[in-house]
Amino acid sequence: MNDDSTVPTLYEWAGGAPALHRLFEVFYRKVLADELLEPVFRGMDPHHPAHVALWLGEVFGGPAEYSTERGGHAHMIGRHLGRAITEEQRRRWVSLLMDAADEAELPADPEFRAAFAGYIEWGSRLAVVFSHPGANPAHDEPMPRWDWTVPPWQPAAQPKKTSASS
């Protein structure tokens, strides 16, 4: 358990490092077999699944290994710059990751899966933003932290109402 509460972190609930490593091994096998995503990940470092497991582990309240070993949020942003990820690729990435969570036997309870899906949606949408040509993200942002509750930030702007949404 974490030190400041009796509530386990998402990292602990997921099963810790072994579960996240299993998740990303399953996931990246799926990605490399997918005709839409394979070109994006062709030639990826064989350690990439382990690096992403460290990332998600830290985001979900586990050890700060991605920050200390890989360079934290700035490094992750840098890995997406200029990749021009499409919305179709993002949706496929999310879908395959959700399938991999089932196959890797991550906890299936609704509370965990809602938190997991919330982060995957949020993070994948940021990756698309960071990947677009001309993106100029702040490189000094802290590592995101995700837990069981609503994230502690507010939307950047309220969506504008259109005549169709009125």
What does pTM read for this prediction? Answer: 0.82
User: What are the backbone angles phi and psi of residue 100, rounded to the nearest 5°?
Assistant: -65, -35
Task: Say what the pLDDT of residue 142 is.
Answer: 79
Domain boundaries, the chain: 10-131
**Burial track 6-37 (b if 16+ CB lie within 10 A, e otherwise):** eeebbbebbbebebbbbbbebbbebbeebeeb
Give me the tens of pLDDT residue by residue for the chain, a chain 166 residues long.
555 568 899 999 999 999 999 999 999 999 999 999 999 888 889 999 999 999 899 999 999 987 788 766 666 776 666 677 899 999 999 999 999 999 999 999 999 999 999 999 988 988 888 888 887 777 777 778 889 885 555 555 444 444 444 4
Instruction: Please give the backbone phi and psi of residue 16, each rounded to the nearest 5 degrees, phi first.
Output: 70, -160
Determine whether domain 10-131 maps to CATH 1.10.490.10: yes
Report the C-alpha gap between 51 and 78 in whole angstroms.
14
DSSP string, 35-77: TTTHHHHTT--TTHHHHHHHHHHHHTTS-SHHHHHH-HHHHHH
Separation of first and last alpha carbons in the chain: 47
